[in-house]
């Protein structure tokens, strides 16, 4: 199973590498690259329930949790 964020749903993306050649239009020898999301395993304390939840979240999700609160964000994502 691919590592995905449990709050935002971020996962890996496949894209092209950047070539420094100016006229690399048809022939691009650099190929494809897999860009991984910044997923971290974190223990988050939810004061409304008095419990600690272990979730795999991206850094953007941690900013969202800090802004909106752990209970509201994790409840909306159906983690708790």
CATH number of domain containing 49: 2.30.170.40
pLDDT at 67: 96
Q: Summarize pLDDT for 10-68 with one digit per residue, the tens.
A: 999 988 776 666 565 566 566 788 999 999 999 999 999 999 999 999 999 999 999 99
d(CA 54, CA 23): 48
pLDDT band at 80 (very low <50, low <70, confident <90, very high): confident
Q: Are strands 32-35 and 51-58 parallel, antiparallel or unpaired?
A: unpaired
Q: Residue 58: inside a domain, yes or no?
A: yes
For the chain, the domain total comes to 1
Q: Residue 5: inside a domain, yes or no?
A: no
pLDDT at 75: 94
Q: Residue 51: inside a domain, yes or no?
A: yes
Closest by CA position to 43, among listed 54, 29, 59: 54
Q: Residue 2: inside a domain, yes or no?
A: no
The residue range of the domain holding 37 is 13-76
pTM: 0.76
pLDDT at 32: 80
Q: Residue 3: inside a domain, yes or no?
A: no
């Amino acid at each position: 199973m691919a590592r995905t964020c449990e709050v935002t749903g971020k996962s890996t993306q496949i894209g092209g590498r950047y070539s420094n050649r100016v006229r690399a239009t048809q022939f691009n020898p650099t190929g494809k690259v897999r860009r991984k999301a910044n997923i971290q395993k974190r223990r988050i304390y939810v004061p409304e329930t008095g419990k600690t939840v272990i979730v795999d979240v991206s850094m953007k999700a941690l900013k969202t949790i800090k802004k909106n609160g752990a209970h509201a964000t994790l409840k909306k994502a159906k983690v708790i």
